[in-house]
Amino acid sequence: MKVILIDDEPLARKLLASFCAKIPSLEIVGECENGYEAVKMIEEKKPDLIFLDVQMPKLSGFEVLELLNDRPKVIFCTAFDEYAVKAFDENAIDYLLKPFLFDRFEQAIKKVETQEKTEKEELGQQAIYPDDTTRVVIKDGEKINILQFSDLIYFEAYDDYVKIYSKQGRFVKKQTMTYYEKSLPNKLFARIHRSYIISIDKIQRIEAVEKGKYQVVMPNDVRLPISRSAFPHLKERLGW
């Protein structure tokens, strides 16, 4: 697993490096001391995992994530506990509060490995279905709901579940957004935010919220945020 260490404190990076050295599956491919370096190195090295400080010169850890097109897995490492909620909103795998010991570091790595295993199983599950699959099947007790792609409106992350909004109503399925992002056809669906996947042909319009921020308007006047990293891809998909 390729790793980049991002922290403006040399001693913090040294400690992380010593912990990484104790786990054979981790390979450090770079270190950065500020956000600008981090964005450039992540784009070049394409790591599987980054250890990311929050407060850094030039760009904060959260601003680094906003600038990335393809995010690696993230473990935040910081001395400030007030950013924990926002970190998990950004889909961080873990939040290490400085100072931390190796045992806590190892717990975080095990979370990464568990997520990777789950994602591989989901990819394997996709192979069971033919390429021309055009529906999502949801079991609700003894009832089985079959939703055609043409009936789907959008997907919303909901803890360990996904809410699926369709013409037939709302359904909840124990699944991940990553699974649907990879299994739904790209020509029909787009992930516009860490919490939302939309049906492209159900878009009513796109509105500017403030400078550099946009939202998409779906049927029934539902408004969903578009992340900065997703907006260029959505524009391209829509032929802007």
- State the average pLDDT for the chain: 89
The CATH architecture that domain 135-238 belongs to is: Beta Barrel (2.40)
CB 13 within 8 A of CB 57: no
For the stretch 139-153, pLDDT in tens is: 777 778 888 899 999
For domain 2-125, give the fold.
Rossmann fold (3.40.50)
Q: Where are the domains of the chain?
A: 2-125, 135-238
Q: Which residue has the higher pLDDT, 126 or 183?
A: 183
CB 66 within 8 A of CB 39: no
For the stretch 51-102, pLDDT in tens is: 999 999 888 999 999 888 788 999 999 998 888 888 888 889 999 999 999 9
CB 132 within 8 A of CB 46: no
Q: Which of 49, 53, 51 has its CA nearest to residue 79?
A: 53
pTM: 0.54
